[in-house]
């Protein structure tokens, strides 16, 4: 099993969108994928879960000794081989933020997230894809450290490109000498060559010494959100989008 965390402490860069799209790509390759929504906005949950959410991730976090909860928090989606551990929105009684503030950093809860990953592994899942919130809370740190790989998602804008070095330092500091999570790929999102600013930035991105994936701006993503469908179940995806998503999935499977 490989646990991958799509992260950026900035909002609106495409974390949720690309987590879903990469999950769609992996299941189309026959992989068994579990999505983990750790964002109190619950956008990923909204994409995949209709109706009331009975159990959410926070139910396990607050009662981690109750191992029977695992089978309750994992939900099937309408897609074969795609599962999700959802979140409830705050307005629906969601408690993930409460956990992030109160429990996540405490000594006695140090093993809660690693134990969750171990239990998920026993369910014969190939990939856990984690959709992170735009923050850097104690919970976010625990999740990052329990992941095998972190893949930052950045937008092709000045601040993202300028901030790459700090982003790297932030994650290295968090790892504190540990080998995990691996950090060797970047996804740059929303390429749009009509803007001269992006044309300049893309030249700079070329020089970054990491594996890079460049996802174009594609209206399929808004359509997918509106219809709550995976882009793989829809028509009209740009060839360039499809190509980069296939490449990401192939590389993830190769590294497994
Ligand atoms: N490549 C793309 N082309 C066009 N639209 C995109 C693309 N990527 C993301 N979007 C759109 O950008 C918006 C923000 O994306 P998304 O919600 O995935 O960001 P996020 O990083 O998860 O945000 P948050 O930090 O608030 O959770 C959405 O409306 C999404 O449909
Ligand atoms: Mg999101």
Q: Domain with 175 in it: what CATH number? A: 3.40.50.300
Expressed as residue numbers, the domain containing 243 is 2-254
Distances from the Cα of 203 to the Cαs of 196, 200, 248, in angstroms?
11, 5, 21
The pLDDT, as a whole number, for residue 231 is 98
Per-residue pLDDT at 255: 77
The number of folded domains in the chain is 1
Average pLDDT per 10 consecutive residues for the chain, totaling 256 residues = 95 97 98 97 96 94 92 96 96 93 86 94 96 93 95 93 89 91 95 92 90 97 98 98 98 89
Of 186, 40, 38, the residue nearest 117 (C-alpha): 38
CA of 47 to the centre of ligand 2 (A): 11
Q: Give the pLDDT score at 107.
A: 86
Is the C-beta atom of 187 inside 6 A of ligand 1? no
**Whole-number pLDDT of residue 62:** 94
Contact 149, 3 (CB under 8 A): yes
In DSSP notation, 189-212 reads EEE-TTSHHHHHHHHHHHT-SSEE
Q: How far is the CA of 63 from the centre of ligand 1 (A)?
A: 32
- Closest Cα to atom 15, ligand 1: which residue? 14
Q: Which pair of structure tokens corresponds to residue 21?
A: 């799209």
Q: What count of other Cβ atoms lies within 10 Å of the Cβ of residue 126?
A: 18
Q: Whose alpha carbon is nearest atom 31 of ligand 1? A: 222
Tell me if residue 194 falls in helix, strand or coil: coil
Give the nearest ligand 1 atom to 189 CA: 1
pLDDT at 103: 83
Please report the pLDDT score of residue 246 as a whole number.
98
**CB of 16 shorter than 6 A to ligand 1:** yes
Residue 224: CB within 6 Å of ligand 1?
Answer: no
Q: Which residue reads 């990469």 in tokens?
A: 22
134 lines ligand 1 (CB under 6 A): yes
Cα–Cα distance measured from residue 145 to residue 137, given in angstroms and rounded to the nearest whole number: 12
Residue 78 is predicted with a pLDDT of 97
Per-residue model confidence (pLDDT) at position 256: 73
Q: Is the CB of 64 under 6 A from ligand 1?
A: no
């Amino acid at each position: 099993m490989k646990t991958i965390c799509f992260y950026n402490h900035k909002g609106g860069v495409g974390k949720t969108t690309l987590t879903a799209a990469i999950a769609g790509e992996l299941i189309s390759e026959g992989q068994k994928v579990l999505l983990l929504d750790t964002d109190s906005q619950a956008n990923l949950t909204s994409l995949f879960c209709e109706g009331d959410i009975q159990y959410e991730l926070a139910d396990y976090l607050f009662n981690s000794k109750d191992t029977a909860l695992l089978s309750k928090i994992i939900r099937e989606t309408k897609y074969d081989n795609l599962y999700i551990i959802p979140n409830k929105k705050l307005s629906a009684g969601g408690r993930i933020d409460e956990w992030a503030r109160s429990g996540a950093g405490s000594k006695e809860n140090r093993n809660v997230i690693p134990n969750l990953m171990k239990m998920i592994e026993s369910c014969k899942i190939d990939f856990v894809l984690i959709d992170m919130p735009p923050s850097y809370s104690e919970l976010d740190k625990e999740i990052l450290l329990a992941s095998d790989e972190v893949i930052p998602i950045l937008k092709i804008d000045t601040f993202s490109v300028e901030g790459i070095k700090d982003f790297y330092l932030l994650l290295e500091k968090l790892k504190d000498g540990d080998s995990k999570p691996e950090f060797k790929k970047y996804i740059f999102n929303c390429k749009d060559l009509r803007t001269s600013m992006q044309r300049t930035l893309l030249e700079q991105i070329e020089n970054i010494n990491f594996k890079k994936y460049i996802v174009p701006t594609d209206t399929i993503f808004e359509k997918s959100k509106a219809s709550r469908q995976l882009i793989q179940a829809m028509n009209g995806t740009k060839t360039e989008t499809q190509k980069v998503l296939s490449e990401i999935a192939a590389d993830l499977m190769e590294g497994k």
